[in-house]
Structure 1
């Protein structure tokens, strides 16, 4: 990253310890957010509050993050979530979403990925027809609002990380299936 690592604090150590529990190494993104551990905790608490009671599966949340990150060109979130979602989606489906190919998704998931990409590309170009496509795929208006808020917050998070030079973590070179790693042709390269 472009900033020097901040002076360690007990809060930063707690952030790092959480990473050591899962995924098993201190992530580059945590090194950046060690400047304000309470802020990242609050941000993730807000994301949890946004989706609370909305019946969004982990797979659906992962599809939103992958579609958001890949559309933005954010390699760090693409790689990290490519790994996270691998337990609920096969490698070819994950790689497809990262490339914008949603063949492995259900109609509902495909509408979700399309809406996410539209919001990230240019929210001023979304139209009532885009929302109607979500409804036709089974999304309620409350869920559409929730998804849009979730994507907006993830977009802000990724923008901060990307602007300050966060790169995908080196361990993902061996943790990710090659087809997923090969699908991330944008953003900053994976650390060596």
Structure 2
């Protein structure tokens, strides 16, 4: 990452809160936090969007959409961070998360698996999406508002994950994840990255 990020001693306002949250939680400031702190107003707006999305769908569905999008995009940052969040929120257990890293979503319930598939398609081939994709969510029991918010959750993850990838933000170790599980999530990100289209393919 070649952009200059705000030093810890110089941050103010929301950027200071971003740094303080990381330090309180993990004892250091993550690279992705430093990158987003270059424009703290944009990060604050991103958090406001997430706060507007989660109430209708709940944490479990939000994390399913986030993980599905992150795997398709190939975002190690978001797979590690939201893998840990999903474990802590009892969205999925370590075995289920490890299986997810290897392409097996059986650790999630039927509705959550539908969300993962939807978020993956949105993140990898949105131009091919049709009403059938929305119908699949409706058949999984989601309301119109929830379908819109699932879409916004996956779209928001695309914004955040792809921004970090574009800026080549270094991948930090996320404390609290069992090492072999963390490696599996990073490998899943690499596999997703290899599937991303490039100008050479």
TM-score surpassing 0.5?
yes
Q: TM-score interval w.r.t. the shorter chain?
A: 0.7 to 0.9
TM-score (structure 1 length as normaliser): 0.87
Which stretch of structure 1 is more off in the superposition, 175-184 or 141-150? 175-184
More helix by share: 2
Deviation track 1:134-174 (CA, whole Å, cap 9, x = no partner) reads: 1111111221111101211210111111111123313x2x5
Equivalences, count? 183
C-alpha RMSD of matched pairs (Å): 1.8
SS at structure 2 position matched to 1:165: coil
Question: 1:43-93: per-residue Cα shift (whole Å, max 9, x none)?
Answer: 1111211333x1x22222112111111110011111111111112121121
Tell me how far 1:179 sits from its aligned partner. 4.2
SS of the aligned residue for 2:142 comes to coil
The reply on whether 1:82 has 2:83 as its aligned counterpart is yes
Does the 8 Å CA contact 1:67/1:98 hold for their aligned counterparts? no
Does 1:4 find its partner at 2:4? yes
CA distance in 2, matches of 1:133, 1:83: 28
Unmatched tracts of structure 2, length 5 or more:
191-201
CA contact (8 A) 2:61 2:150 kept: no
Greater displacement, 91-100 / 159-168: 91-100
Report the Cα distance in structure 2 between the residues aligned to 1:62 and 1:14, rounded to whole angstroms: 23
Corresponding residue number in structure 1 for 2:183: 182
> Which of 104, 109, 112 lines up with 1:106 in the alignment?
109
Please, what TM-score do these two structures have when normalized by structure 2?
Answer: 0.83
Residues 63 and 97 in structure 1, CA contact (< 8 A), matched pair in contact too: no
After TM superposition, give the deviation of residue 129 of structure 1 in Å. Answer: 2.1
Residues 74-83 or 123-132, more deviating = 123-132
